Chains A and B, each alone.
Chain A
Amino acid sequence: EPEVTQTPSHQVTQMGQEVILRCVPISNHLYFYWYRQILGQKVEFLVSFYNNEISEKSEIFDDQFSVERPDGSNFTLKIRSTKLEDSAMYFCASSEAVWGGRYTDTQYFGPGTRLTVL
């Protein structure tokens, strides 16, 4: 069964450093997402991406964050200058569509990257 994969599974970085979290969405999916989950808190939407553009972003997704689809398979989240409060589990998700049926807009999640900022 196709699945979303993410690397690394755990990233430790120093405050102020840049990190890039990588995701390989399901191959025929067109819409890509990043969510984060701070320990003990809700899963929160960060950004959605379609056709090489951000289609929606949350208040959390400020200028320190950026996303990119550098090639036909990868989808990345970059945090330019990490803060302690960026420590969280980051989930990538993908969907085939956003409209048009019961299942084609289902978002499938990867296993997550645990980011620890020291």
Chain B
Amino acid sequence: QKEVEQDPGPLSVPEGAIVSLNCTYSNSAFQYFMWYRQYSRKGPELLMYTYSSGNKEDGRFTAQVDKSSKYISLFIRDSQPSDSATYLCALRDGYNKLIFGAGTRLAVHP
């Protein structure tokens, strides 16, 4: 079983839509969860960082962690064309290592 599963998409939505991106993971020991955004041919950029279960909101972005289901989500409200990118979930394994999902490619069209 893979450590982190993420649907690669692509996901295409109209501007203004609510976007839901999800990952599942297998190891219940994970405590730190991140969402990175990656534009084409660029490095991953941290969007959201969550510890343990619960919700965290930052502007149009909401990260949600459900440790009982081993499920993490990122919601984007009022999506914009500039949100078009690949979104990577990442879990911290131990002190150093990030384990990434495959990334979901999102296209927001005007």
Interface residue ranges, A against B (CB under 8 Å): 4, 31, 33, 35, 41-45, 48, 55-56, 58, 89, 91, 93, 98-99, 102-103, 105-112, 114
Contacts and interface: CB of A to CB of B under 8 A. Distances in A.
A109 to B, nearest CB: 4
B46 A55 contact: no
Nearest to B100: A43
B102 A109 contact: no
21 contacts: A31-B96, A42-B101, A43-B44, A43-B98, A45-B97, A45-B98, A45-B99, A48-B96, A55-B95, A56-B95, A58-B97, A89-B41, A98-B95, A98-B96, A102-B51, A103-B49, A107-B46, A107-B98, A108-B46, A110-B43, A112-B43
Contacts of A43: 44, 88, 90, 98, 100, 103
A32 B98 CA distance: 12
Interface in B9-50: 32, 36, 41-46, 49
Interface residues on B, range: 20 to 34
B94 interface: yes
A45 B100 CA distance: 9
Interface centre among B97, B100, B103 (most CB of A within 10 A): B97
A91 B43 contact: yes
Contacts of B32: 105
A107 B99 CA distance: 12
Contacts of A31: 96
B4 to A, nearest CB: 8
Given A106-B46, A106-B49, A111-B42, A42 B96 contact: no
